[in-house]
Amino acid sequence: MRRAAEEVGRAAGFVDLLINNAAIYLKKPFTEANEFDADMARRTFDVNAVGPLLVTKHFLPLVLAGSGKKIINISSEAGSISQCWRSREYAYCMSKAALNMQSVILQHRVKDDGVKVLAIHPGWMRTEMGGADADLDPSESASGIVETIARNSAIDGPMYLDYTGKAWEW
Q: Is residue 125 part of a domain?
A: yes
Q: Is residue 123 part of a domain?
A: yes
Domain count, the chain: 1
Which among 96, 116, 160, 163 is annotated as catalytic?
Answer: 96
Which among 92, 116, 160, 163 is annotated as catalytic?
Answer: 92
Domain of 128, CATH number, reads 3.40.50.720
Q: Is residue 148 part of a domain?
A: yes
Stated pTM of the model: 0.94
DSSP-assigned states of every residue in the chain:
-HHHHHHHHHHTS--SEEEE------TTTSS-GGG--HHHHHHHHIIIIIHHHHHHHHHHHHHHHSSS-EEEEE--GGG-STT---SS-HHHHHHHHHHHHHHHHHHHHHGGGT-EEEEEE--SBSSTTT-TT-SB-HHHHHHHHHHHHHH---TTS--EEETTS-B---
Q: Is residue 169 part of a domain?
A: no
Q: Is residue 31 part of a domain?
A: yes
pLDDT tens digits for range 12-51: 999 999 999 988 988 665 566 777 888 989 999 999 999 9
Q: Is 96 a catalytic residue?
A: yes
pLDDT tens digits for range 78-98: 999 999 998 888 999 999 999
Q: Is residue 52 part of a domain?
A: yes
Q: Is 92 a catalytic residue?
A: yes
Q: Is residue 168 part of a domain?
A: no
The whole domain housing 156 covers 2-162
